A and B are shown apart, each in its own frame.
Chain A
């Protein structure tokens, strides 16, 4: 499969994908910190995910300006929150939801 990395839309999709991966990777690290047995498995999974994230982000930088890709990567705050709510049952307060809304608006403005 070859994927053209010169298209900005592919770049945007890759940053969104790497942000989503970051959320799951952070949950893995938290799991690892919470457990007394089986820590290493979650830690290893987290590290592998971070490597994939870095690869996808590198791919994105082929077509995107860094002034676009970097603020867009703040979407990882959104995925970290959603994954930690979904998988770790963490509670999210109102300020955080508003902050996430601002980040999503900012991301839309940056790519738009």
Chain B
């Protein structure tokens, strides 16, 4: 019982961290690209990416995200974890308006909610490979 509760708390922290890392990664990615000099082609972009130190931080976030996600999947089914972390579609949208002043139209808000609903539905339909209830004892 004690183990179950600890595992549940670990899972909640892992899911929150996954959502935060998703959000931070996307926002930083945009910030990094926006800070690059105006270039005209993919090759120049690739070259500039390698020179921008913030991209190292971005790569570190992605790596952390990968390990955290694998850890989350040890404790929960993908069908349980994926819809929760897809909340990052909302956090990215809101924070892009707050931090970068991006304009969020009504259509865009509706689109984001549609995407969220779609991801949620997909996760519901996914056949499970194991029938644990989401949290391992």
Which A residues contact B (CB, under 8 angstroms)?
1-6, 55-59, 61-62, 65-71, 74, 77, 81, 93-96, 98-112
Contacts and interface: CB of A to CB of B under 8 A. Distances in A.
Nearest to B86: A74
B56 interface: no
A78 to B, nearest CB: 9
Interface stretch (B1-9, B32-40, B68-76): B32-40
Nearest 3 A/B pairs, CB to CB: A106-B114, A109-B111, A95-B125
B26 A66 contact: yes
A70 to B, nearest CB: 5
A104 B36 CA distance: 31
Contacts of A100: 118, 122
Interface in B75-121: 89, 92-93, 96-97, 100, 102-104, 107-108, 110-121
18 contacts: A4-B40, A5-B42, A55-B46, A57-B29, A59-B45, A62-B39, A65-B30, A65-B103, A66-B92, A67-B104, A74-B119, A77-B118, A96-B126, A100-B118, A103-B114, A103-B115, A105-B114, A106-B110
